[in-house]
Amino acid sequence: MEISVTEDILLKPLTDADAQEIHLLIEQNRSLLAKYLYWVESIKDLSSTREYLRQRIYSKNTGAAWYKIIFEEKVSGIFGIKEVNFHKRCAEIGYWLSTHCQGRGVITRVVEKICVHLKNNQGVRKLSIQCLSENIASIAIA
């Protein structure tokens, strides 16, 4: 299911066919992503990118859903609902964004839209984001 965030931002479900484009995006943003995300070092080639995507696309976590972020018609990152705990009515999210669109409110708008989506469709009342203490941008989102 696609989620339209704004006229410039769209979330489209990740697929195996996205591997080439996501690999290129990771390579273009490797130095920034490696500061904050543990998995970046494991992405060495197209095969490891496919595995990275498969771990997300085929996650067995309850309520998990992973999307590519489309900003101004260009794939610009990944956003994930990592898990939904229906008993506690909470969900954990994660994301990363290409440098070309950082500081433009993309993730803020995505999170706002996802909050409404999760509340209305799954009864979620609390959202969790885990990030490093030096990741000021993600802390600001939270």
> Where residue 24 sits, what CATH number does that domain have?
3.40.630.30
Predicted confidence at residue 113, as pLDDT, reads 96
Show the domain range for 7.
3-141
Predicted confidence at residue 53, as pLDDT, reads 97
pTM of the model: 0.92
For 1-142, where are the E strands, in sequence order?
A: 3-4, 9-13, 65-71, 74-85, 90-97, 126-129
The domain tally of the chain equals 1
What's the pLDDT band for 23 if we cut at 50, 70, 90? very high
All residues at 6 or more sequence positions from 60 whose CB lies less than 8 Å from its CB, including other chains: none
- What's the CA gap between 110 and 15, in Å, rounded? 19
DSSP helix/strand/coil, 35:
helix
Asked if residue 134 has pLDDT above 90, the reply is no
- What's the CA gap between 107 and 11, in Å, rounded? 11
* Ramachandran bin of 20, using left for φ above 0, alpha for ψ from -120 to 50, beta for the remaining angles: alpha
Contact 113, 3 (CB under 8 A): yes
Instruction: Please count the residues of the chain.
Output: 142
